[in-house]
Chain A
Amino acid sequence: MENIICACGHSNPYGTKLCEKCGRPLTEEGKETKVVDMRYDGMAIRSKTYNKTFIDKIWNFFSSVKVGITLIIITLVAASIGTILPQEMYVNAPEANKAEYYEKVYGWFGKVYNNLGLSDLYTTVWFQILVGMLAISIIVASLDRGIPLHKSLKNQRVKRHESFMKRQRIIAEGQVQNPDETLDKVEQKMTELKYKVRRDGSALLAERGRFARYGPYINHVGLIIFLAGVMLRLVPGFHVDETIWIREGETRAIPGMDGYFIKNNEFTLETHDNKPQGEQLAQGVNVMAKNYQTDVTLYKQPEGALPGDLDNLEKVKDYSIRVNHPLKENGFALYQMNYRLNELKQMNFNLVNKANEDESLGQIEIDLTNPKKEYDLGNGSSVEILIYTPDFSGFENGEPQTKTSIPNNPAFLFRMKTPETPKGEVSFVEIMKPPLEPLGENKYRMKFAGADTRDSSNFTIRKDSTVPILFVGGIIFMIGVVIGSYWNHRRLWLQVEPDGRVLMAAHVNKNMFSMKKDLDAVTSFAELPQYEDQLEKPEDAEKPKKRGIKKKEGDSTL
């Protein structure tokens, strides 16, 4: 791993292809070819320089373009396999039955697909490691190539050795009458063509669009920022995706949004009352929704208040959450996602004598969100609730049981007292069923007299602080792509000896046509000798045009 000493005396790092100072080709291969490889401007790729320790070996592995391309291909293939069947999170089946679902719906293929973990591909460890390795490859390869290239482009010398000049694709050699005038004229013309011109004695370097060489690296930076943004979603606080059901009249703590409470004031579902027509009829849709809206009030606990402390809640704002009109606060957004209509909220009963059911001794209104122990009807009658089960599911050891805390099927054990029955009669009342009378037949009963219902809304609470990062990453990526694709780096070297011998060379990293156009202009203006394209054989010059096939021009140098 020794440095290479060029004939000009400059010491180049191992792996250098063209002398950093004068541009002489340093490899045997380079000396033999007619046109040198200008990739990375002949700088030593860093990984080629040291290859001793374990770390260096890993580094060199990731620095390899071949490895990078292999990783890209594997990732692409894997990612596309993941799109053959829907991913697990989009499958409409309970968590436990997902494996069965794949087999049932997609047969043996679905089973294999699921067993291989392809049904949840993007969160599998191996896929993430693959993407991670790709990220390492991008970073390492860019550092290895970008830094030397940058150094080389920054420290370009105006005067290059003849062997460098002669091995460029475009060369010209000849005589001019007045060397100084020629140099002045070239400078004038190239400046006019928006080139940056530097002169060093009898040598001239005109350069335009150097930044185009940075396109791929800018693009890589964007990609890395994007990946970092995706990674940050896992960091607590950066990404919140929670859901909440809330009934009208309820106040709930908002999950993921510490210290905030939301009250559902009213849910409204509006529909178009048009006659079904066209596609609506074809799809059998009777009613079309016009608006889903929940009027809410957002509250916030005072600074430092503890969970559960509802004193001094501060009202933040009233808002109507509609589809596409989320409630936004402090980086969070609450979206209307779903609704449920007509959950029982209040039940009314009349206390009646079975003999004369039309005559009521009074009505009780039971607020299911806050049932009272006893309802006094005056006139010596009262009703006591002994047991209330919101979601009655049957008896167990004589005790009524409830399945949930939601009033899907409310049932009551009442004790009814009237002046006629001062000791009270006990009756078990369930919706749509005759009352049960466990302690013998009653004279009185509770007659259902209507109910009030309320609706519930379902909100999703989202916060994604990584979106701006993803956005910035994406924009930088695109800028890199555009710079690398639409601009090109053009260079013209010119050396005029005092005796009038002129040596010219030109290089462009892509789009040779643009370079030749500039060359034509400067050649005729400064009366330079006609240039020659070393990669174009004279007899071929006409042919491509006739066949209508354009040869790809330039060497796509990075």
Chain B
Amino acid sequence: MEKKKKRLVIRTIILAVLVLAIGYTVYGTATKDKVELIEVGSKAPDFTLVDLNGEKHKLSDYKGQGVFLNFWGTWCKPCEKEMPAIDRQYKIYKDQGVQTLAVNIAQTDFEVQSFVDRYDLTFPVVIDKTKSVMTAYNVGQLPATLLIDPDGKVVKIITGEMTEEKIASYMELVKPK
């Protein structure tokens, strides 16, 4: 009887391992092609970029504050549309512990500066010259917005344009309690 039991256990283990391996393969293949940003709930990869004034911004320096992280480009129409709204909400929430950081994708200082001047943006705008932060966050489509809570965790990812109402609610979401 002992032998039979042992055999049953071994067979169960072997079959379970094989079924898990197949399941993993099927799942892996199914999700492989989907371009996904980093996972919600995971820690936001730290980075450091320089803004138009030459100041360095390091994500982890904002620990304790919520971060509204927006990837954009001047040629991207929805980005352009939401920028003034983001700026208005930034002014409201910056004193409540929500930092806004706009990451431009590898454009020239001239283009970014004229854009900022035109819309009179007051939040820091950094340029990802080598697309290294874009790669680290696996950003494919613009605009892409990540909401990072005071602990540095990604709580929400939004791709596409946002209304001002939504922007306000997102900033509320990551406001330190």
Within 8 A of A (CB), among B116-134: 126, 128-134
The verdict on A458 contacting chain B, using a C-beta distance below 8 Å, is: no
Whether A261 lies near B130 (C-beta < 8 A) is yes
The verdict on B53 contacting chain A, using a C-beta distance below 8 Å, is: no
The verdict on A279 contacting chain B, using a C-beta distance below 8 Å, is: no
Contacts A56-B8, A307-B47; A128 near B135 (Cβ below 8 A): no
- Nearest CB in chain B to that of A53: its residue: B8
The verdict on A59 contacting chain B, using a C-beta distance below 8 Å, is: yes
Whether A136 lies near B29 (C-beta < 8 A) is no
B13 to chain A, nearest CB (A): 10
Within 8 A of A (CB), among B132-176: 132-136
Whether A309 lies near B11 (C-beta < 8 A) is no
Chain A 200-227 interface 0/1 with B at a Cβ cutoff of 8 Å (1 = within): 0000000000000000000000000000
Chain A 241-273 interface 0/1 with B at a Cβ cutoff of 8 Å (1 = within): 000000000011111001001000000000000
Whether A308 lies near B110 (C-beta < 8 A) is no
B59 to chain A, nearest CB (A): 8
- Nearest CB in chain A to that of B32: its residue: A234
The verdict on A140 contacting chain B, using a C-beta distance below 8 Å, is: yes
Within 8 A of B (CB), among A393-431: 402-405
In the assembled complex, the Cα of A402 lies from the Cα of B108 at a distance in Å of: 14
Taking CB atoms, residues of chain A closer than 8 Å to B105 are 405
- Nearest CB in chain B to that of A369: its residue: B108
Q: How many residues of A contact B (CB 8 A)?
A: 49
In the complex, which of the residues B8, B32, B134 contacts A55, with contact meaning CB atoms closer than 8 Å? B8
In the complex, which of the residues A140, A255, A306, A385 contacts B110, with contact meaning CB atoms closer than 8 Å? A385
Chain B 33-66 interface 0/1 with A at a Cβ cutoff of 8 Å (1 = within): 0000000000001111100000000100000000
Whether A306 lies near B48 (C-beta < 8 A) is yes
The verdict on A58 contacting chain B, using a C-beta distance below 8 Å, is: yes
The verdict on B4 contacting chain A, using a C-beta distance below 8 Å, is: yes
A57 to chain B, nearest CB (A): 11
Chain A 43-76 interface 0/1 with B at a Cβ cutoff of 8 Å (1 = within): 0000000100101101100000000000000000
The verdict on A132 contacting chain B, using a C-beta distance below 8 Å, is: yes
Whether B25 lies near A234 (C-beta < 8 A) is yes
Taking CB atoms, residues of chain B closer than 8 Å to A308 are 47-49, 126, 128, 130, 132-133
The verdict on A388 contacting chain B, using a C-beta distance below 8 Å, is: yes
In the complex, which of the residues A50, A306, A372, A405 contacts B46, with contact meaning CB atoms closer than 8 Å? A306
A523 to chain B, nearest CB (A): 45
Whether A231 lies near B110 (C-beta < 8 A) is no
- Nearest CB in chain B to that of A299: its residue: B130
A77 to chain B, nearest CB (A): 20
Whether B130 lies near A253 (C-beta < 8 A) is yes
The verdict on A371 contacting chain B, using a C-beta distance below 8 Å, is: yes
In the assembled complex, the Cα of A402 lies from the Cα of B15 at a distance in Å of: 58
Contacts A373-B110, A391-B75; A59 near B11 (Cβ below 8 A): yes
Whether A136 lies near B18 (C-beta < 8 A) is yes
- Nearest CB in chain B to that of A367: its residue: B108
Whether B58 lies near A132 (C-beta < 8 A) is no
Taking CB atoms, residues of chain B closer than 8 Å to A373 are 110, 113
In the assembled complex, the Cα of A372 lies from the Cα of B114 at a distance in Å of: 11
Whether A306 lies near B21 (C-beta < 8 A) is no
The verdict on B7 contacting chain A, using a C-beta distance below 8 Å, is: yes
Contacts A234-B25, A234-B32, A385-B110; A405 near B75 (Cβ below 8 A): yes
B155 to chain A, nearest CB (A): 20
B19 to chain A, nearest CB (A): 8
Taking CB atoms, residues of chain B closer than 8 Å to A405 are 73-75, 105-107, 111
Contacts A234-B25, A370-B108, A390-B111; A253 near B30 (Cβ below 8 A): no
In the assembled complex, the Cα of A373 lies from the Cα of B49 at a distance in Å of: 23
- Nearest CB in chain A to that of B77: its residue: A401
In the assembled complex, the Cα of A64 lies from the Cα of B110 at a distance in Å of: 72
- Nearest CB in chain B to that of A387: its residue: B114
Whether A253 lies near B131 (C-beta < 8 A) is yes
Taking CB atoms, residues of chain B closer than 8 Å to A143 are 14
The verdict on A439 contacting chain B, using a C-beta distance below 8 Å, is: no
Taking CB atoms, residues of chain A closer than 8 Å to B24 are 231, 234
B91 to chain A, nearest CB (A): 24
In the assembled complex, the Cα of A390 lies from the Cα of B35 at a distance in Å of: 28
A-B contact pairs, 10 of them (CB 8 A): A55-B8, A132-B18, A136-B18, A252-B130, A307-B46, A307-B48, A307-B135, A308-B133, A368-B108, A371-B108
Please list the residues of chain B having a beta carbon within 8 angstroms of any beta carbon in chain A.
4, 7-8, 11-12, 14-15, 18-19, 21-22, 24-26, 28-30, 32, 45-49, 58, 73-75, 105-111, 113-114, 126, 128-136
- The 3 A-B pairs with the shortest beta carbon distances in the complex, nearest first, are A253-B132, A234-B28, A132-B22
- Known contacts A132-B21, A388-B108; 6 further A-B pairs (Cβ under 8 A): A55-B8, A254-B135, A307-B47, A308-B49, A371-B111, A402-B75
